[in-house]
Structure 1
Amino acid sequence: MSAQDTKVHKSASLETPTDLPADAVRDIAGALNILLADMFGLYLKTKNFHWHMSGPHFRDYHLLLDEQGEQIFATTDAIAERVRKIGGSTLRSIGHISRLQRVLDNDADYVTPKDMLAELRDDNKQLTTRMRETHNVCDEHGDVASASLLENWIDEAERRTWFLFETTRGRGE
């Protein structure tokens, strides 16, 4: 590739053609990128707790968090690709994620299994609220495709919250 080709390539636009107005792309892409950062934050926290689980229910909790982590991670590509489909750009680095994420990290050396599950339950519940807010942004701009995806992800987050709630109910561990 020549220097001229490189210069042209670097200046090429990433804007995908869309029928959504520019303000809709800006608002929806912005909301989805923040949600994407939250998903990465929740994914890493879920895997952290999966890797550091201990105690008498280790196997059950370890497997539960592995399953939930896979489900959370599966949404990340779909969210990022949705942003690109509507003409936006998406996250580019771990630093970008850390600037946008609202899910709080947990870097503690030790967290009890009960506290791990309760923290993830609350994070998933909060994520559900934030997905509903993002759905409202999509509704405001008539983006039914993004709204439809969000409806499925809301259902998945509610299921994770339910499982974590039931797992922690009445346990004194």
Structure 2
Amino acid sequence: MTSKDNSKAALIDSLNGLLADTFALYVKTKNFHWHVRGPQFHDLHLLFDAQAAEVFGLTDLIAERVRKLGGTTLTSIGAIGAKATIKDEDDTSLDAMAMVKALFDDNTAYVATLKATKELAGEAGDNATDGVIDDWTDQAEQRAWFLREIIA
């Protein structure tokens, strides 16, 4: 395997990790949308729903980048769980601010994952992935910003 092949394989693996985290972030955000309670219910319910829709919209784009690079994507919930770094949250009794804080932390970590994947795209000479990740990063930074301002 050449250095370029190794770089491409590392990028595909990173994109699949990003895809797993995208699904995990989507499910967690949707979970909080369904279970949020308290005085800010209305606003948070709508915010979480909008953020979940934005995150879900990335899944196909990321998977198609993997396929365009000649790789295979995640095939099951088990495969997602095995690659995801964003942790599940099954406690439906969390208060609203704990939900906001968890999603802020997860979106901030997601930005770091995007930046690491962008670096690998550069090493692999994949200009298309390198460029599109900028848009995905901007979206994630905006989600984190909105959440951070609620916590402040």
TM-score range, shorter chain: over 0.9
How many residues in Structure 1 have an aligned counterpart in Structure 2?
150
RMSD: 1.2
Query: Is 1:115 matched with 2:87?
Result: no
Query: Is 1:87 matched with 2:70?
Result: yes
Q: 2:84 and 2:93 mapped to 1: Cα distance?
A: 23
Query: Is 1:77 matched with 2:21?
Result: no
What TM-score do you get using the length of structure 2 for normalisation?
0.95
Question: Which structure has the bigger radius of gyration?
Answer: 1
Q: 2:5 and 2:148 mapped to 1: Cα distance?
A: 41
Q: Is the 8 A contact 2:23 2:56 kept in 1?
A: yes
Aligned position for 1:38? 21
Q: 1:101 and 1:83 mapped to 2: Cα distance?
A: 16
Unpaired segments of 5 or more residues in structure 1?
1-20
The structure with the greater share of residues assigned to helix is 2
The aligned amino acid for 2:93 is Y
What TM-score do you get using the length of structure 1 for normalisation?
0.84
Q: 2:45 and 2:51 mapped to 1: Cα distance?
A: 10
Q: Choose the corresponding residue for 2:10, options 18, 27, 34.
A: 27
Offset of residue 56 of structure 1 = 1.1
Secondary structure in 1 aligned to 2:20?
A: helix
Q: 2:62 and 2:150 mapped to 1: Cα distance?
A: 29
Unpaired segments of 5 or more residues in structure 2?
none
Q: 1:160 and 1:31 mapped to 2: Cα distance?
A: 22
Greater RCO, CA 8 A, separation 6+: 2
Divergent runs of 4+, >6 A: none
